[in-house]
Chains A and B, each alone.
Chain A
Amino acid sequence: MTRAAVVAAGEALAETRARSSVRRILLVAAASLLTAGCGDAPKRAALYHAEKLLYDARKAETAARLGTTPPDSAALLLLRARYLKVRAVAPGPYTVAGSAADSEIAMATIRTVGIAETQAVRMAIEARRPDLGLEAARRLESEVAGDAVTARQAAFMAVAAYQALRRFDDAAAKMKEIVKAYEPLPPGESGEDPVLGIPEALVNLRRNLGDEEGAARELRDALTYYQSLLGKPRPPALEAQIRARLLRTYLELGQTSRGLEEVNQLERIVTGTPSLRPMLAEIYFAKGKIRATLDRDPSDGITILDRIAVDYPNSSLAPRAIFEAAALLESKGNFEGAKQRYQSLLQRFPNAMDVAPIALYRLGITYDRMGNWPASKGILESVPARYPRSPIAAQAPMAIIQHYLAEGRKTVAQAYLVKALETYRSLIERDSAGYVAPHFRVKMFQIYASRGDSSSLYAITDEMLRNDPHHPYTAQALLEASRAAGRFGNPSRRLAYLRRFAQDFPKSPLVPEVRRELRAAGG
C-alpha cells in the first residue's frame, strides 16, 4: 500500500466517522424533539381532530340548510353521522385529572364531543328518529358527569327527545331531575340560564296536554322552587332573574299582594345594578298588571302596560303587555279599546307566538261581541291559516259553531261541522307529528261523537292511538270511545279500548274502575 493510499484511506475513514457522528447527532436531536415536553401530543392531536370534524360537520349542515329545499330525514341522518364521527376520534373515557395542561385538554375534549353529540341528538330528533337521540343523550350525560355544562346540555337534549317521542311524563320527570341536579348559573352571553325556565316549561307542557290541574300543581311547585333558590345568597344578576320568575309565578297564581312585595324588591336590585336596566320592562309589566288587578279602575295599570310597548319595544314583554292591556279592557267590556290593542299587537308583533295567535282569536271574539259577525267570522276563519301550529287554531272553528248554536241556527251549525272537520284534517296533514296535532284530533273526535258517526269515531280514535299513544287526550278519547262503542252496540271494540287504556295509562286514577269494568264484562 502506498503512502498516498494510506492517507486516502485514512481520510475516507475520517469522513465516514464524521458522517456517522452527524447522523447520530441528528437522530438524537430528532428523538429529543419528539419526546421533550410533548407527552400530551396524542391527546392534543385527538382534540384537534375532534374540533376539525366538528367544524366540517357544522359547515356541511350550513351548506345543506342553505339549499333550495330543506334537508329531508335521510340528509339529516347523514349530517348526524358526521357529528358522530367526532366522538369516534376522541372516544373517552372523559376524565378531568392530572396536570393543569392535561385537565385543560380533557375539558376541551369533553366540550367538543358534547357539542357534537348534542348536535347529533338535534339532528336525530329533526329527522324524526328521537329514539336515536334519546339513547345518545342518555349515554352522553352519564359519560361526561365530570363536566356539568355538557351534562346539562345532554339532559336538555334528553328532554327534547322524550317530548319528540311523546313520552311527556318522562320529559316532565327529566325536567324535574335537571332542576334538582343543576343549580342555575348567573346570566351569560346567551342570557338567562335555561334551568330557570324549566318550571314554566313544565306548566306549559301540562297546559298543552290539556291538563289544567297538573299545570296549577306545576305552578305551585315553581313557586316553591324559586323561593328555595332565594334561600342562598346569589349574584345580583341571578337574584334579579330568580325574583323576576318568582314575580311572574305570583301573578299567574293571582297572588298580587305577594307580587307587589316582590316587584319592590326586584326594583331595588335592578335600579342598583346598571347592567340590569333591561329588566325594568319586567318590573313595569308586573306593576301594570298588579295595579290593574288591585285598583277598582284598571286604567292606570293599563296605561303602564301600554307604555312598555313604547318605551321597551325590543323587550319580549312588549307584545305581552299589549295583550294583557287588551284582555283587561275586554274583560271590563271596553271592546273598542281591546280591539285597537289586539290589532296593534298583530300589526307590530305578528310573530310573537306566545300571544299573537290568541290575540287574533280574541279579536274575532271581540268583533262578535261588538255585533260585527261578518268581521268576526272572517277573523276566526283566518286563525288556523295564519297560526296553524298554535293550539288556538283548534278553538277558532268551534267558536264559530258555538256562535251559530247560541243564535239557535242548528242547521247552519251542523253544516259548519263539516267545514271544521276539513279544516282540522288539513291542519293535521300539514304537521301530523306536531305537538298541536292532538288538539285537532280531539276536536275531530268531539265532532264525530256529537254526530254519532261511529266509524269515523273509531277511525280517529285509532289514529290517536297510532300518533299520540301516551297523550292525555288519547286517554280521554279511549274512555269516551269505549262508552260510545257500548252505545253503538260494539262490545268487542269497547273492551279493546278499555284494555288499551289500562295498558297505556297504568298510572291513571281511573285504571281500577276500568279493570272492574273489564272484569265485569269478562275481559
Chain B
Amino acid sequence: MKLSFVDALGSAFDSLRCFRWREYAPFFWMLAIEGVCLALTTQLQHSWAMTVIAPIAKAAGGEDNLHYPPFFAYLPILLGWVEGVIYSVLGCVLIPLSLLRLYSRTDRALSLGAGVAGRLAGAVIPTLLATLAGLGAIWGWQRHWAPAVSKWIAEHSTGSTGVFLGWMATTVGSYAIIMLLLYVPIAAVQYRTNPVRAVFRGLRFGIRAWIPTILFGLFFGIPSLLVQYLLEKQGGHLISRVAPEIVVVFLALYVTFSSVATYLTYSAGARFYTISRGDE
C-alpha cells in the first residue's frame, strides 16, 4: 500500500485531538521518575539525596562532576543517561502498555483486557532491542559523525545561522535514528505477531514512513527542542548570571515537553501504521 502524507498529517492531528490521560499515564510514570531525580539534584547538600544521585553519576562515569556548581553543567548529560535507562528498562513495558491502551479504543477484546498480558509480554523484547539500538546509534552519531557535520555546516554558513544549522543537523539526525525504530514497538503489540516479525515489520515500515514520521516527530518536539537549544547554547550564561539551579527548571520543562512529545509521536505513529497497513 502506498503511504499518504495526508494520512500522516491526519494521524498527527488525531493524536493531538484525542489525547487521553489513560494512554499517556505510562509515559507520565517515566516522567515522574525523571522528575524525582531532578528534584533530588537540587538537594545534594543532604546525604539522602547524594546517596541516590552519586551512584547514578558514578555509573554514568561522571563522579568528578559531583561538585557545586559544575554539577549543573553536567546535569543535562546525566539526565540523558537517566532518560536512556528509564526509557529502555521501564519503557520496554510501559510504551507497549500505552500503545495497547490506544488500540483498546478500537479493539473490543483489548478493551475487556483479553490477551493484554500476552501481547504486552511479546512486545517487551522487540521494544527493548529497538530502544537500545536507537540509543547506541544516537551515541555513535553524536560522538563520531555529528561534530563533523556541524563543523561542515558552520564552515559553509555565517555567524549564528551556521551555529544554529549545525545544531539543528545534529538534532534532526538523532530524530531520524529514533523515527526509524519508532514502529518496532507498534508492530510488536499487533495481534498475532512474534518478536522477530515485529522487528522486521517495524523496521520496514519505519523506512517507508521515515520522512513523514520525522516531520511529525519534529513537530511535536518543537517545545522541547526550543528548551534544549536554549540550555545548550545559553546554559553557561544561565549558570553564571542567574543561578546554577536554573538548569533544573529548564530540564524539568524539557523532560515534560519531551514526555508529551514522545507519547504523541507514538500515538500518531500507531494511528498512521494502522491506517497504512490495515488492522493486522
Instruction: Enumerate chain A interface residues (CB-CB to B < 8 A).
Output: 33-34, 36-38, 40-42, 44-49, 51-52, 55, 89, 108
Contact = CB atoms under 8 A, between A and B. Distances in A.
B260 interface: no
Given A41-B50, A49-B45, A51-B67, 11 more contacts: A33-B51, A33-B52, A33-B55, A34-B52, A37-B55, A40-B54, A44-B47, A44-B50, A45-B46, A48-B66, A51-B68
B45 A48 contact: yes
B51 A41 contact: yes
A45 B44 contact: yes
A55 B67 CA distance: 11
Contact of A42 (B47, B67, B68): B47
B151 interface: no
A37 B58 contact: yes
A55 B68 contact: yes
A89 B45 CA distance: 10
Interface residues of B, number: 17
Contact of B66 (A37, A44, A52): A44
B69 interface: yes
A-B pairs with the 8 shortest C-beta distances?
A: A49-B45, A51-B68, A45-B50, A42-B47, A45-B47, A41-B51, A52-B68, A41-B50
B49 interface: yes
A42 to B, nearest CB: 4
A51 B65 CA distance: 12
B211 to A, nearest CB: 43
B49 A45 contact: yes
Nearest to A51: B68
Contacts of A51: 67-69
14 contacts: A33-B55, A37-B58, A38-B55, A41-B47, A41-B51, A41-B54, A44-B47, A44-B54, A46-B45, A46-B47, A48-B44, A52-B45, A55-B244, A89-B45
Contacts of A42: 47, 50
A431 B47 CA distance: 49
Contacts of B50: 38, 41-42, 44-45, 48
A89 B58 CA distance: 24
B58 A48 contact: no
B47 A108 contact: no
Interface in B62-111: 66-69, 71
Interface of B: 44-47, 49-52, 54-55, 58, 66-69, 71, 244
Most buried by B among A36, A41, A51, A108: A41
A47 B67 contact: yes
B184 to A, nearest CB: 29
A47 B66 CA distance: 9
A51 B67 CA distance: 7
Contacts of B52: 33-34
A46 B55 CA distance: 16
A36 B54 CA distance: 11
A44 B45 CA distance: 8
Contacts of B71: 48
A20 to B, nearest CB: 21
Given A41-B50, A42-B47, A48 B68 contact: yes
A41 B50 CA distance: 6
Most buried by B among A38, A42, A48, A49: A48
Contacts of A38: 50-51, 54-55
A49 B58 CA distance: 19
B178 to A, nearest CB: 29
B86 to A, nearest CB: 15
Nearest to B46: A45
B55 A45 contact: no
Contacts of B46: 45
Given A41-B51, A42-B47, A55 B58 contact: no
Contacts of A89: 45
Contacts of B51: 33-34, 38, 41
Nearest to B243: A59
Contacts of B244: 55
Contact of A55 (B44, B47, B66, B69): B69
A33 B50 CA distance: 11
